[in-house]
């Protein structure tokens, strides 16, 4: 029997992503993830591949009030070519002030607005994925933010979900409003707020948005766990680039795989346990630099352990100790107890990671779904709702 080698996949002819004056050669974006995409994690991802690396979501009000945590969130390493910041807000005035501050103080080269967060503490205030339902509020925030960003020639993008649930979809209306307001690109996560991260992302909605907005870049997000998934999304939907979130948790080398795939190379990172352990230790060292506090840095690294070691033979007791690691010294001791010669475990270490949650009715402000415009009580409440939800 003759074994025929599988022909290499043709190179994906995807041009560089243009966001205003910024060119992203590898059209891949690291999704902002609260408590994860800090300077330490962005550096790890950046060292493997090309793309645009967005900082954690920051609350507009906290930024305007200059809270220390908000200023840490928007800080960037000196060698980050594009300083990318994601803002959350529910009040057009406050969002406008936050964008103005970023522009006037030269703290960002790209600004993204969050209309995708499904977390209850965000949606119950009318924010994140709940907000595009209110057309007037959404329009006002986007127009105000674009106006302020344009004063510094800073491209502004938005990230959103399909809608609140299947009966309250917002993405096509929101996409058109955003385009007409002058945004540089629109990113769509192919799930509703009600789905949280459960089930499958609906890539057909991403394709529909791409068709509806032929004149600006559209980016796709949801269920990209490998370079092959990214290539498939581009081919199935026609998007101009992909946004990767949970797929890179514990796998910053995914950005190397993505760059290789978009360049037509079959090279993929298949790290053995020694390489993963080295990556974890480096991540912890970078976290200490980021926070300037070893205790806080090691507390922050704990949640990454299950992601890094997914599929690898580690042992229950050692996993438990890694998940409560107190110091860099103890981390070194624990990592040295691993069988560092174990090879890459293959498919067991790939695929979904992080908490998917379960589908449930989103928490929303009172009478939010009665119509698509704000009533007086909702307008009055919205400024009070502009609280700090950074960090989760």
pLDDT at 377: 87
| 338 closest CA partner among 281, 284, 277, 271 | 277
Q: Quick check: helix, strand or coil at residue 248?
A: helix
Model confidence pLDDT, tens digit, residues 362-381:
999 999 999 999 998 888 88
Identify whether residues 173 and 287 lie together within a single domain: no
CB atoms within 10 A of CB 346: 9
- Residue of 14, 45, 117, 276 marked catalytic: 117
Q: Is residue 370 part of a domain?
A: no
pLDDT at 322 exceeding the cut of 80: yes
Structural domain harbouring 112: 20-268
Residue 166: alpha-carbon gap to chain centroid: 23
At residue 61, the pLDDT reads: 94
| Dihedral Cα 239, 240, 244, 248, nearest 10 deg | 120
3-class DSSP state of 52: strand
State mean pLDDT over 10-36: 90
CA-CA-CA-CA torsion sign (239, 188, 304, 40): positive
Region 122-143: mean pLDDT is: 96
Q: Rounded CA gap, 234 and 311, in Å?
A: 28
Domain assignment present for 313 = yes
E strand or H helix at 120, and its extent? helix 120-123
pLDDT-derived band at 6, boundaries 50, 70, 90 = very low
**181 with 283, same domain?**
no
DSSP string for 346-391: GGGG-S--S------PPP--TTTTS-SS--HHHHHHHHHT----TT
Give ∠ CA 345-351-352 in degrees, rounded to 5. 130
pLDDT for the residue 45: 96
Residue 40 lies in a domain: yes
Question: Could you give the number of structural domains in the chain?
Answer: 2
| Whole-number average pLDDT of the chain | 93
Q: Is 45 a catalytic residue?
A: no
The answer to whether residue 205 sits within a structural domain is yes
Q: CA–CA separation, 367 vs 310, rounded Å? A: 42
Does residue 180 form part of some domain?
yes
| 214 assigned to some structural domain | yes
Domain boundary pick from 241, 268, 295: 268
DSSP string, 164-202: EETTEE-HHHHHHHHHHHT-SEEEEESS-TTTTT-S---
User: 316 and 180 in one domain?
Assistant: no
**Residues 239, 91 share a domain:** yes
Q: What is the C-alpha separation between 242 and 312, in angstroms, rounded?
A: 28
What is the model's pLDDT at position 222? 96
∠ at Cα 109 (95, 30), nearest 5°? 90
**Alpha-carbon distance values, 96 to 29, 93, 160, 245 (Å):** 24, 5, 19, 27
Q: Tell me the β-bridge partners of 84.
A: 54, 110
On whether both 204 and 56 belong to a single domain, the answer is yes
Q: Which residues pair with 22 in a beta bridge?
A: 19
Digit-coded pLDDT (tens) for 254-270:
999 999 999 989 999 99
Instruction: Kindly tell me if the per-residue pLDDT of 385 is higher than 80.
Output: no
Q: How far apart are CA 384 and CA 33, in angstroms?
A: 25
Above 90 in pLDDT, residue 14? no
Parallel/antiparallel/unpaired status of strands 110-115 and 84-88: parallel
Per-residue model confidence (pLDDT) at position 348: 84
Residue 66 lies in a domain: yes
CATH number at residue 203: 3.20.20.70
384-to-87, 90, 132, 347 alpha-carbon distances in Å = 17, 10, 19, 48
Strands 168-169 and 163-165: antiparallel
* Residues 114 and 181 occupy one common structural domain: yes
Confidence band of 171 (pLDDT split at 50, 70, 90): very high
> How sure is the predictor about 5, in pLDDT bands with cuts at 50, 70 and 90?
very low
């Amino acid at each position: 029997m003759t074994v025929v080698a599988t022909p290499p996949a043709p190179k994906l002819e995807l041009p560089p992503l243009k966001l205003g004056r910024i060119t992203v050669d590898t059209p891949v974006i690291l999704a902002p993830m609260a408590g994860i995409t800090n300077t330490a994690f962005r550096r790890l991802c950046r060292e493997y591949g090309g793309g645009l690396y967005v900082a954690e979501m920051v609350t507009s009000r906290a930024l305007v009030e200059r809270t220390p945590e908000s200023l840490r969130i928007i800080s960037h390493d000196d060698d980050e070519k594009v300083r990318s910041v994601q803002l959350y807000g529910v009040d057009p005035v406050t969002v406008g002030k936050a964008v103005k501050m970023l522009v006037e103080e030269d703290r960002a080269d790209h600004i993204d607005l969050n209309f995708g967060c499904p977390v209850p503490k965000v949606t119950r205030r009318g924010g994140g994925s709940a907000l595009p339902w209110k057309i007037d509020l959404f329009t006002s925030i986007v127009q105000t933010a674009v106006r302020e960003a344009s004063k510094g020639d800073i491209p502004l993008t938005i990230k959103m979900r399909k809608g609140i649930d299947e009966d309250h979809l917002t993405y096509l209306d929101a996409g058109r409003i955003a385009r007409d307001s002058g945004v540089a690109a629109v990113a769509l996560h192919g799930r509703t707020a009600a789905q949280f991260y459960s089930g499958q992302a609906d890539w057909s909605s991403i394709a529909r948005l791409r068709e509806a907005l032929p004149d600006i870049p559209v980016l796709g997000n949801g269920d990209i766990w490998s370079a092959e998934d990214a290539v498939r999304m581009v081919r199935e939907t026609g998007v101009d680039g992909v946004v990767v979130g949970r797929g890179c948790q514990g796998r910053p080398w995914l950005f190397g795989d993505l760059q290789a795939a978009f360049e037509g190379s079959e090279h993929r990172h298949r790290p053995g346990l020694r390489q993963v352990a080295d990556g974890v230790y480096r991540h912890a060292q970078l976290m200490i630099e980021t926070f300037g506090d070893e205790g806080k840095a090691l507390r922050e690294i704990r949640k990454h352990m299950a992601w890094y070691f997914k599929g690898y033979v580690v042992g229950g007791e050692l996993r438990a100790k890694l998940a409560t690691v107190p110091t860099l010294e103890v981390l070194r001791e624990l990592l040295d107890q691993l069988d560092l010669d174990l090879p890459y475990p293959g498919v067991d270490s790939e695929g979904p990671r992080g908490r998917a949650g379960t589908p449930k009715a989103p928490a929303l402000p009172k009478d939010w779904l009665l119509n698509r415009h704000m009533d007086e009580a909702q307008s009055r409440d919205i400024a009070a709702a502009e609280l700090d939800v950074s960090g989760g």
